[in-house]
Amino acid sequence: MSATTSHVSTLKFNEIPVEFQNGVAAFKWPEDNKKPLKPIEVKLSIDAKGFYLICVYQQTEVSPNKTIQKVECFDLALIHDTRTGSQVTIPPEAKNCPELKLHLLDGWFATKWLTLSYGNTFVPSHNFRTVHFVFKSSEVARKWTKQLFEYGHNQLLRNLSSLNCLEKIHSKLIHETLDRENNIIPIKSLIQFLSDNRDSVKENICQALEACKLPHNAESNIHPSQFTFDVFFRLYMILMNRKEVDTLFQLLNERKQDHLSCEDLKRFITKQHYGSNDHDKMEAEKNAAKALIQKYAQSSENFTQEGMTKESFLRYLLSFDNSIVDPVKYDLFMDMNKPLSHYFISSSHNTYLTGSQWTGRASDEMYRQVLLTGCRCIELDVVDSDSRGDTPEIKHIYTPVKPVPFVDVVAVIRDYAFKVTSYPLVLSIENHCGPRAQATMAKIFVDLLGDSLLTEPLSTHPCDVNSPLPSPNALRNKILIKNKKLPSQQAKPKANTPDLSKRSIITSSSSDPNRNQNTISSTPALSPFLRTSSAESLLDIATVHSNPRFSRILDDYNLSDDDIRMNRNGLVENLTSKPENPPETKATKEMSDLVIYTIPVTFKTFIRARHVNRSCEMSSLSEDHASSVMRDHARDFLEYNQRQLSRIYPRGTRWNSYNFNPYLFWPIGCQMVALNYQILDPPMQINLGLFSFNRACGYIEKPAALCEPQSLFDPRVAKDIENIVSYDINIKVISGQFLCQNCEPTNVDIQLYGMYGNLTKQYDCRIRAKQWNGFQAVYSDPENLKSSKFSARFSQIILQEMAGIRFSVTSADNVLVGQYFLPVCHLRSGYRHIVLRNEMNIPVRAASLFVYVQRKIHAKGKDKNFMKPSNNLQPIKNDNLNNTLVNRKPEDTNFENCSSSNLSGSELLSRSEETIEWYHHHVIHGSSFNEKRNFEIRSFNDIKRGEYDQLGNDIHNKCRAVFDKYQQDGDLPQERLMKLYKEILRAKEKATCELIDKFFNRKKRDVTNEYWEKLRELSRIRRKEMSQLDKDIEDQRKSDLSKRESMEKILMKPVMFREQNKNKSKDRGAITREKLNKMYEEAKQTLEESYQKNLDQLEEKRSSEKRGYIEQFEQELDNSRRRLNYQLNQNGYGPVSCNDNPMSTMRHARIFAASASTDEPFALENGDVFDPQPRRQTMDS
């Protein structure tokens, strides 16, 4: 995805204060409901590195005199939410518990209560835990509630490196195995922890402990101070037996020493980043090799200042410095000032459901959990209450799902809308309510959401024609309502309330508010959004892929569930009936007034949408309809999404709530691809993986190719995009590290997701483990890292920002061990570790894959030789190289296809000349001299309005200061008022001219500096292109010579004209050099003309500004004379003259001082207006 050019990460690991490390006493309420329920006394603390909440239980089991302490470590990364006070729900039994004595505290006890939402899932289920603690004071409860939430949602904690994961495991091992009474770690407990109840590896652990010179007998003990992380890391190295790291170490170690020298490490780092997204940092990291040696070698037993040992080298390989993704990508690094339509927005479908669409339970808890993932578009299906018609409720209409009070959900939205991200939240309303319930809805929205609710367009972005949508930054902390909106001329709409008595069990193709009138044209022939037929009853539902393989997406992109049905005999047949969807009611004025930038409208055609050009209007489509539109109107749909928002939701037959592949619709620019968050299947894992970047703020910037209005990009076609090169990605899975893992990682699956052009092949590769020692799986030969045999090859990835790779590791019986997803544009080349995550995209175990990634610019035919010197370099958009590859002609010569039957010597020469001709045009047309930005200088019109407005403010303040200074002299009898005022205006004029000169002199210096900088840049470009020309001509000559020698063997006779062709090549080089020199001179001349033009423009503007202010001051002087005479005559003092006595002058001065005490203009006798301060409009005068 697109991003700002440079960004310094602000992410930091948790820093735990001593107060939280020491801990606090509390009570824990039992999670099981076994009677009798009694609170458990515990001590809570946080480990020093901020990985775990340590809960130490106090339980007497063996005898009254012996206390056995049980310890539970709560992973902070799995704490989804913390609540206290009014947000907690106290178990009924706790209120009357004599140990807690809460019944004596009335409502105050809730402030001492802390509730954690915890688990490997955020969906309320058996894996979702609600843990209650009670503290002795409200202040302690509030402090721990706040800090635990902040620690748990730390972005680095949720995106650890492999080395951090080992530190995390070590921390848990120490706290869970420690005998606190004797302050020792029993070896038996340590072995049990590392083996994870696997008897087959216990002997290996004992041998590794012995190799580390540690106690290894099961009855032995070890002091915590002896089992530091350094000792644990050496134990890890022995258990893993990483031969592939030893091989890599030897390959890099040219001097065959026991350490890598600084030069060895420099070469390795350079090669690692040769083709990565960090090419601009390559030099900096090369120079930092010595610092890296010190950073990772300082804790090694064999530390040496001269280089990096095997142990420290492995630490480096496992660290953030060498991770598969630059950690900066997890920070907020994207530009958030573009229109909303230029972002992918994390979106949810039927947010209230915890399970299937038919039998799932509705809960307001799902809104909390979904919002805490950073989701920025949630859905509310609102219906009239069966008991009270004016009370709205949330439920899946026409299903047995029990409703949730609407007011409870809005209260949750109020509390959680901006708890993890401040960017705008969209509420997608499916409105089935009557007028009275809608009035109640609107009142609840306004009363509960308050200032967070956007009820008026921003002054900078009106809801008008040709006005773009505001940016996420402009809408921070704002909630937008997506609901039907009344036409402006309609006063009192009639609600089309559905007949509740006629509700029947029918299928719904969607729960989206716009599936009928809002998005579907009443003229099917004109609408590319024309719906297909859907099932009429439960027996008509054909459940496709009801038991999908959990580790991958098995979508048939050409099959629609809505196009088939299942009859009573289980046979599949075509649907012929028309869809029967639950109708929505019309909007009332109260709800209509709350809809601003997300207005669902009846979609007619793309031509009409382009003509209307209202960015605030949007449409919603089911996945099937969106697929149909893409097949027939891909380019139009892409253009629509550049300007307006679109929302894609699952088809109605997905009753099991399984999701579709979101990469079917992101490449077309659809912003809101709404998924069922209650099912953590592979599509949901991909969604969570993508939106984990950019600080998990819920917004991901689209690539430029999807946002440029005149772009020729077509996602349906496997064709290179203008100015952007394609990539070949080759991946070798070498090994996998699985500490404390009781499930054998048999299979590694690698899937590529992306544009339709990338889906011409099924990019799905499976690698099986060759060896498993209980801790490490080997997938490739660890002693032959140089082998060109890759586990997966992905060729011609057309738009790397819109392609993603997912790694998933499964056992032999297809149990998910771990997975990871990342966009291809974030993938770094070289030897890297991939930290595996759970279904929620959080790393919870020390599980990783060691891979080698090769990134190459995709080239065909003759381009391969041209690309060879720079094939691994990261391209820059609009670079000459990109232009060259995109503009290559398919009929260009390829000598490899020649044969003796169809090629003569003269034809060979002719083809060689064609090659030279092509090369000449390539150099000239691809030259940087063709880029206007290289010889354009900022003009006066490029000055920011804020800078120019500041000049006016400075002049205003300076004049005010001058006026105040002279006003103090207004009471002096010896001064004449008009003479004094003349002095004031002269001082104003002088100060104003000085400020104007200062401002324009500064701009003149800026223009001059830019001129010299551009001039130096032109010289640098000429030297670079001349040097590259010489090199390329020589490479071309050698290539032609080699091919001619091959052709001589094929033709069985020498090919003539070799010297003649060599001379022509030299001539072509001379012609090209002459052309480049001419282009340089022309660019230089253009630069000089632009420079002189801008200087003249600045001088003209300077003079114009001065003239304007001087004329204004002269007018002020004339107005002041008339005004003073007028006021003096009104007060009986007579007109101002030079013969006034001192007392008269003093009276005049008092009038002058009084009249000058305000900045506001006032009327003169002749109707003119006098203004004591210059208020000239400087920007557009």
509, 579 in Cβ contact below 8 A? Answer: yes
Q: Give phi and psi for 545, each to the nearest 5.
A: 55, 50
User: Within 13 Å of residue 467, how many CA atoms lie on the same side as its CB?
Assistant: 13
Check whether 907 is labelled as a binding-site residue.
no
Tokens 């033709």: give the residue.
1051
By CB atoms closer than 10 A (0-12, 13-18, 19+), residue 3 is buried
* DSSP 3-state of 186: strand
Contacts of 713 (CB under 8 A, 6+ apart): 638, 705, 706, 721, 722, 799
Contacts of 677 (CB under 8 A, 6+ apart): 122, 123, 348, 349, 351, 366, 369, 370, 373, 375, 684
Strand partners, 353: 362
Check whether 127 is labelled as a binding-site residue.
no
Q: For this structure, is 461 an active site residue? A: no
Set 216, 342, 349, 432: catalytic member: 349
- Helices then strands, counting H and E runs in the chain, come out as 26, 39
540, 653 in Cβ contact below 8 A? Answer: no
- d(C-alpha 480, C-alpha 424), whole Å: 7
**Alpha-carbon dihedral sign for residues 326, 327, 330, 335:** negative
- d(C-alpha 282, C-alpha 293), whole Å: 17
Q: For residue 353, what is the DSSP state? A: B
Q: For this structure, is 349 an active site residue? A: yes
384, 437 in Cβ contact below 8 A? Answer: yes
Question: Pick from 696, 688, 683: which is nearest to 657 by CA?
Answer: 683
Rg, the chain, Cα only? 37
Helix (H) or strand (E) holding 1029: helix 977-1051
- d(C-alpha 402, C-alpha 395), whole Å: 7
Q: Residue 722 has which token pair? A: 């203008």
1068, 920 in Cβ contact below 8 A? Answer: yes
* DSSP 3-state of 670: coil
Q: For residue 752, what is the DSSP state? A: E
Contacts of 576 (CB under 8 A, 6+ apart): 533
Question: Pick from 398, 429, 389: which is nearest to 413 by CA?
Answer: 429
Q: Residue 263 has which token pair? A: 């030069």
Q: Residue 586 has which token pair? A: 């019309």
Strand partners, 771: 778
* DSSP 3-state of 1002: helix
* DSSP 3-state of 255: coil
Check whether 381 is labelled as a binding-site residue.
yes
Set 396, 461, 625, 858: catalytic member: 396
Q: For residue 758, what is the DSSP state? A: G
311, 238 in Cβ contact below 8 A? Answer: no
**Residue ranges of the binding site for Ca(2+):** 350, 379, 381, 430
Active site residue ranges: 349, 396
Residues comprising the binding site?
350, 379, 381, 430
